[in-house]
């Protein structure tokens, strides 16, 4: 099974800042869109419309490290994977890369937390959800 999900995304004129580079906020948007296609790929594309209790989750944190600018319009690759599947949280890793090489324009992570829809307190992911995501968790090498 694949350990990551990757999409090609367009960078358009209105994504650029006054210096003609991809605006910093757009990196998170491209990550968000790639996450949406990941959810679809694993069968949770309509998660918000399903009766799944796992649909109730909040973003706890986004972290982005900008390494080299995306200059002008064109296309980029965005890769996502699961770094950690905790009891109540889930951390995605991501990379934004040029089309023709595995070099990072940016990398980062997003952590989400499943919550009870009435109390908004953290609750554990269901076992079916955990089972579906288990094959997508990237194990870190020992010593890292």
First to last CA, the chain: 23
The answer to whether 70 and 64 are in contact (CB under 8 A) is no
Residues 6+ apart with CB under 8 A from 128: none
Closest CA to 120 of 28, 57, 45, 74: 57
Please give the DSSP secondary-structure letter assigned to residue 50: S
The answer to whether 85 and 93 are in contact (CB under 8 A) is no
Would you list the domain boundaries of the chain?
Answer: 5-134
Q: Walk along the chain (144 residues) and give the pLDDT tens digit of each residue.
A: 568 999 999 999 999 999 999 999 999 999 999 999 998 888 877 656 667 788 889 999 999 999 999 999 999 999 999 999 999 999 999 999 999 999 999 999 999 999 999 999 999 999 999 999 998 998 665 444
Residue 109: predicted pLDDT:
97
Residue 1: predicted pLDDT:
53
Separation of alpha carbons 134 and 108, rounded Å: 21
Alpha helices (H) in the chain, listed in sequence order: 24-41, 127-133
Residue 144: predicted pLDDT:
41
Count of C-beta atoms within a 10 Å radius of residue 63: 12
The second-level CATH assignment, the architecture, of 5-134 is: Roll (3.10)
């Amino acid at each position: 099974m694949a350990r990551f999900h990757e999409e090609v995304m367009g960078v358009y004129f209105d994504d650029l800042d006054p210096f003609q580079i991809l605006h910093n906020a757009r990196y998170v948007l491209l990550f968000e869109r790639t996450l949406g296609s990941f959810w679809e790929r694993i069968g949770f594309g309509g998660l918000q419309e399903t009766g799944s209790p796992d649909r109730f989750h909040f973003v706890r944190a986004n972290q982005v490290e900008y390494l080299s600018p995306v200059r002008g319009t064109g296309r980029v690759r965005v890769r996502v994977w699961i770094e950690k599947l905790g009891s109540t949280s889930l951390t995605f890793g991501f990379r934004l890369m040029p089309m023709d090489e595995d070099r990072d324009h940016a990398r980062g992570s997003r952590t989400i937390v499943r919550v009870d829809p009435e109390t908004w307190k953290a609750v554990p992911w269901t076992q079916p959800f955990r089972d579906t995501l288990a094959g997508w968790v990237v194990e870190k090498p020992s010593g890292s």
